[in-house]
Amino acid sequence: MIRLVLIVAAIIIYLILTLPVVLVLYLIGLKKPETKRRAAAAMIRWFLRVLKVLAGTKLTVIGADRVPQDSAVLYVGNHRSLFDVVLALPLTKNFTGFVAKHTLRKVPMFGVWMTFIGCILFDRDDIKDGMRMIKAGTEELKNGNSIFIFPEGTRNKAPEELPLLEFHEGSFRMAMKSKCPVVPVAITGTANILEKHFPLIRSCPVTIEFCEPVYPDDIPKEMRKKIGVMTSSIIEEKISANKS
């Protein structure tokens, strides 16, 4: 229970103490949006690393050097835990936002920080909002900013890591439209931190593997509509290997 108390306290303290910072970053962003985003990203990445330490997570990272450095990428990961973002986001490129459900806007100051670092919040039940998300994500990628998305659409609450939930093919349209590489990310073990024994937080090993990038233009046209299936298979294979 002590880990949970420490993490909740850290989040509350961070959100309170950074209230003046939010105002300063907002004012900076009026004239220098890139500076605002860079500063916000640095602060969030630092804080997520603090949460990792408080959770006592023993993290193994594989394949970080496989991520292309000359372009934005669409990171595609499996989703088992609230800690997926906590652990994975600090490992990505500096300008990486993630796609999340719109209800996070209601959490005090959470939505503000997410907007500052380029996250895209949308309503999964609203088709028009889904189209807006794809358009916004495509623009981010074209502008050189990477995006992290969980194509399962929600957390997989099954007792075992595999099989994954079906990947929504629409999640990959932003990569198709921007012609950026897709980097599958296999996340193993995060449900053991919290979800499997909620509300306790336990120290446990987690493996995050960045797989070889998939380039949409290199996929035969008849297979492009199944890129979600292809990516899911890559991630499942890595999870299976990392568990053994």
Cα(6)–Cα(14) distance, rounded to whole angstroms? 12
Is the pLDDT confidence value at 105 over 90?
no
Query: Helix crossing, 19-31 with 33-55: angle to 10°?
Result: 150
Global pTM reads 0.94
Mean pLDDT taken over the chain: 93
The CATH H-level superfamily of 2-243 is: Glycerol-3-phosphate (1)-acyltransferase (3.40.1130.10)
Cα–Cα separations (whole angstroms), residue 49 to 10, 87, 94, 136, 163:
12, 7, 14, 27, 29
Residue count (the chain):
244
Tens digit of pLDDT for each residue in 27-60? 999 999 999 999 999 999 999 999 999 999 999 9
Tens digit of pLDDT for each residue in 155-165? 999 889 999 99
Q: What percent of the chain shows pLDDT beyond 70?
A: 100
Is the pLDDT confidence value at 235 over 90?
yes
